[in-house]
């Protein structure tokens, strides 16, 4: 066996194992990881351990996304490498400095979250165009993207607060992770309770962008997927039509 083949063997074995346990194209695990991350941000107390564990969860979410979407080998390796580097670097920062700065944590989490939706979208599109069609698995992938968008903006708000050295909200001096995530999802769904409002123009502009993105995604992508649940993929329809013609 060549040296190149030896290096690829562990990767091939991992893919085979994932296929046996039916993780390929199955977005339920991904949706659970996203939900777990959101729950941690709401329930965990403020502090370095929670910030570090949040980064670990976001890294695991990105790594899982590139695995379950069945992407190319190079993309999978790159996604896993980025996840590991982010997790290990954050741990090193905690060991060396004794803390995980909130601003740094927000930036790292935001980058990890921003990388996942394009990967998931590519996997969902492949499933739609090939043979799986629109299924509940497809819906779970689409919903994962929706939740990740809300989390991305929460981390973006946190980064603006920490790097700007001024309160992000008019009502509280220092917003917690829970405040930021709550405000993000309320803004994304355009509920707008008004108990938390941005204190400056940058925050207002970002909130407006999130509201627009959230609503456009909800009334187009999510609505389209839900309305087509159960329909077969393009490739499968063509194959069945060709078989019927014979």
- Tens digit of pLDDT for each residue in 16-36? 544 444 444 568 888 888 999
Residue 234: partners with Cβ closer than 8 Å, 6 or more residues away: 128, 129, 130
- Tens digit of pLDDT for each residue in 125-165? 877 776 556 777 888 889 999 999 999 999 999 999 998 88
Tokens found for residue 87: 């997790």
- Tens digit of pLDDT for each residue in 34-85? 999 899 888 888 888 999 999 999 999 988 888 887 666 777 778 888 888 9
Query: What does residue 169 show for φ and ψ, rounded to 5 degrees?
Result: -105, 150
Question: Is 40 in contact with 53 (CB distance < 8 Å)?
Answer: yes
Q: Is the pLDDT of residue 240 over 80?
A: no
The distance in angstroms from the start CA to the end CA of the chain is 44
Residue with the bigger pLDDT between 226 and 101: it is 101
The pLDDT of residue 140 is 87
Q: Looking up tokens 């993309």, which residue turns up? A: 75
Query: pTM value?
Result: 0.81
Question: Is 199 in contact with 62 (CB distance < 8 Å)?
Answer: no
Domain boundaries, the chain: 3-232
| Three-state secondary structure call for residue 160 | helix
- Tens digit of pLDDT for each residue in 171-213? 999 899 999 999 999 999 999 898 999 999 999 999 999 999 9
Please provide the size of the chain in residues: 246
Which of 139, 156, 170, 171 minimizes the C-alpha distance to 213? 156
Rounded-to-5 percentages of helix, strand, coil across the chain: 75, 0, 25
In the chain, the percentage of residues whose pLDDT exceeds 90 is: 44
């Amino acid at each position: 066996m060549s040296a190149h083949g030896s290096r690829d063997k562990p990767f091939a074995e991992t893919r085979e194992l994932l296929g046996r346990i039916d993780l390929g194209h199955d977005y339920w695990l991904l949706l659970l990881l996203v939900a777990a991350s959101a729950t941690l941000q709401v329930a965990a107390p403020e502090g370095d351990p929670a910030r570090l564990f949040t980064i670990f969860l976001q890294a695991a979410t990105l790594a899982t996304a590139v695995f379950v979407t069945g992407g190319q080998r190079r993309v999978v390796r790159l996604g896993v490498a980025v996840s590991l580097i982010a997790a290990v670097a954050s741990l090193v920062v905690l060991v060396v400095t004794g803390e995980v700065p909130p601003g740094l944590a927000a930036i790292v989490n935001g980058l990890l979250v921003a990388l996942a939706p394009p990967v998931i979208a590519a996997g969902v599109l492949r499933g739609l165009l090939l043979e799986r069609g629109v299924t509940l698995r497809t819906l779970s992938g689409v919903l994962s993207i929706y939740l990740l968008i809300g989390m991305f903006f929460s981390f973006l708000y946190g980064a603006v607060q920490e790097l700007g050295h001024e309160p992000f909200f008019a009502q509280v001096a220092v917003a917690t992770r829970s405040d930021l995530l709550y405000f993000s999802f309320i803004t994304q769904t355009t509920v707008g309770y008004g108990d938390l409002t941005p204190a400056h123009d940058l925050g207002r502009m970002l909130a407006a962008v999130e509201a627009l993105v959230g609503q456009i995604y909800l009334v187009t992508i999510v609505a389209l997927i839900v309305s087509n649940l159960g329909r077969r993929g393009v490739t499968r329809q063509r194959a069945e039509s060709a078989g019927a013609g014979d």
